[in-house]
Structure 1
Amino acid sequence: MKRILVIGIGAGDPDYLTVQAINALNAADVFFVMDKGAAKDKLVALRKEICARFIKDHDYRMVEATSPERRRDEGIDYKAAVDELNRDKQAVFERLIEDELGAGQCGAFLVWGDPSLYDSTIRILDAILAEGRLAFDFEVIPGISSVQALAAKHRVPLNFIGRPVNITTGRRLAEGGFPHDVDSAVVMLDAQNAYTQLEGADLDIYWGAYVGTPDEILMSGPLDAVKDEIVRVRAQAREANGWIMDTYLLRKRGVKE
């Protein structure tokens, strides 16, 4: 039986790898690496660095495949575009598992951050198994997410005492505003700077881009005071690197711990 490991490698810093993740690296025969283009070569390089650093006395090989891109046509439904993207990825994953992994071998996908949070690798593997054409076992190894890394870098807890925290997307924040009945909200996948629409909401923001990497940028303060500077710095960083990966925490001001 073929075996697949979905390994969370943390949010950029190789030191974020857990002992469980390192043990999993040393159990894999083949690593499947999804190439997302020249602008994101650093993401592929980091995966190779992690393997070179932590795998000891174990032969392995890497197989790179071009990652499909999500359609961004004007007017296309976001959910439909993501579903289409995952079907395209499923076809790539199926080919890799069938053609590049021998019977009894162990293959691995190295997932940025944690595989359970805004990543579709688990869903795609479940879909492959549901179709019944390929048979394999798979295991998920958790990783340190950008959410955890962001809070640690800013030295703040995610929640106030006894209060919930909401994890949402920039798209949802833009549609519905700051979530109701919470004092803290973590926002991911915000391509349009949705926080700028919350002027006057009396919030603090803790923002980070490329958290855990050498390109890391951190900014924080009252939202109204720093939002324009974050927009400027974010645009500058995206222009310089060709891509941006950022996360931020919004917290109501004046709430007692």
Structure 2
Amino acid sequence: MKDLWLIGIGTGSPGHVTLEAQAALRDAALILLPRKGSGKDDLAEVRHRIIAAAGSTARIVDFDYPVRDPALPYVERVEKWHDEIATRWSAAIDGDGPVALLVWGDPSLYDSTLRIAARLSPRPRIKVFPGITALQALTAAHAIPFNTLAGAVTVTTGRRLRDQGWPEGAESVVVMLDGECSFQTLRRDDLLIWWGAFLGMEEQVLDHGPLAEAGPRIIETRQAAREAHGWIMDTYLLRPEGLT
């Protein structure tokens, strides 16, 4: 493999894939697709729909996604997980033509595909085709601005929100990769929340309002959606009331 193309595919809608990304899918010789286990067939189906919508005739090779070892400390757990993913990529790839990987959202934002690609040896030429991020899809779905007037935005994870609380000096906070609804750990009564899951897809669900009122609804809705689909990808924005 000489060329590895990382193609951002947005948050699940074929309409989120740029024309440049569609052309890359058509030009790729091989597309790697992860199998993420029982109950997550929808994830593979979304990728297949995107490939078909682009008109790609590339050869598709599936590989089984490894599972993290929960017994290890977090950083070590993730590092070993990335090592194993890179190994499985290498085992699945053959031929010299461009190899494409479809990346949920965008390869630059809270995604480790670029870090995993750096582990390949010999290292291929890497090209990134940017995609719609969950941040864009969330604010578009709620028809709200990403930031307040001349204001800054802090993008963080559920883990950090749980461990460190509200970021010091933050105005607007977007939380990604939060499987534990960490907003419920915040002890503030002035926050508004805008939440969304399956953004851009037919299954899209949204909620917003004062955190004290919307939070319990979101937890219930999220659990029901996860049980119905076997997986969920969601994100949310928090902002104190009165800021515009």
Query: Does structure 1 retain, via aligned residues, the 8 Å contact 2:9–2:105?
Result: yes
2:39 aligns to what SS in structure 1?
Answer: helix
Query: Does structure 2 retain, via aligned residues, the 8 Å contact 1:204–1:222?
Result: yes
Which 5+ residue runs of structure 2 have no aligned equivalent?
Answer: none
1:151 aligns to what SS in structure 2?
Answer: helix
1:224 matches 2:212: yes
Q: TM-score normalised to the size of structure 2?
A: 0.95
Query: Does structure 1 retain, via aligned residues, the 8 Å contact 2:194–2:208?
Result: yes
2:79 pairs with one of 67, 78, 83:
83
Q: TM-score normalised to the size of structure 1?
A: 0.91
Give the % identical residues. Answer: 41
Counterpart position of 1:19: 19
Separation of aligned partners in 1, 2:37 and 2:116: 21
1:92 matches 2:84: no
1:115 pairs with one of 107, 121, 124:
107
Query: Does structure 2 retain, via aligned residues, the 8 Å contact 1:193–1:231?
Result: yes
Counterpart position of 1:72: 70
2:59 pairs with one of 58, 61, 69:
61
Q: CA deviation at 1:96?
A: 2.4
Q: CA deviation at 1:71?
A: 2.0
Deviations 1:126-160 (A, max 9, x none): 122xxxx4252120110001111001000111111
Separation of aligned partners in 2, 1:180 and 1:157: 22
Amino acid at match of 1:210: F
Amino acid at match of 1:82: V
Counterpart position of 2:124: 136
Separation of aligned partners in 2, 1:212 and 1:135: 34
Amino acid at match of 1:220: H
Deviations 1:20-57 (A, max 9, x none): 1111111101100011013211111111111111126x
Query: Does structure 1 retain, via aligned residues, the 8 Å contact 2:63–2:89?
Result: no
Amino acid at match of 1:226: A
Q: CA deviation at 1:106?
A: 1.0
Separation of aligned partners in 1, 2:117 and 2:62: 18
Deviations 1:69-103 (A, max 9, x none): 11224xx4222211111011111122223xx2x13
Counterpart position of 1:48: 48
Separation of aligned partners in 2, 1:159 and 1:44: 33
1:240 matches 2:228: yes
Deviations 1:91-127 (A, max 9, x none): 1122223xx2x13x11100001101112111111112
Amino acid at match of 1:180: E
Between the two proteins, the alignment pairs up a number of residues equal to 244
Counterpart position of 1:156: 144
Query: Does structure 2 retain, via aligned residues, the 8 Å contact 1:33–1:64?
Result: yes
Counterpart position of 1:127: 119
1:127 aligns to what SS in structure 2?
Answer: coil
1:210 pairs with one of 186, 190, 198:
198
Query: Does structure 1 retain, via aligned residues, the 8 Å contact 2:83–2:119?
Result: no
Deviates more, 1:194-203 or 1:112-121: 194-203
Counterpart position of 1:146: 134
1:33 aligns to what SS in structure 2?
Answer: strand
Which 5+ residue runs of structure 1 have no aligned equivalent?
Answer: none
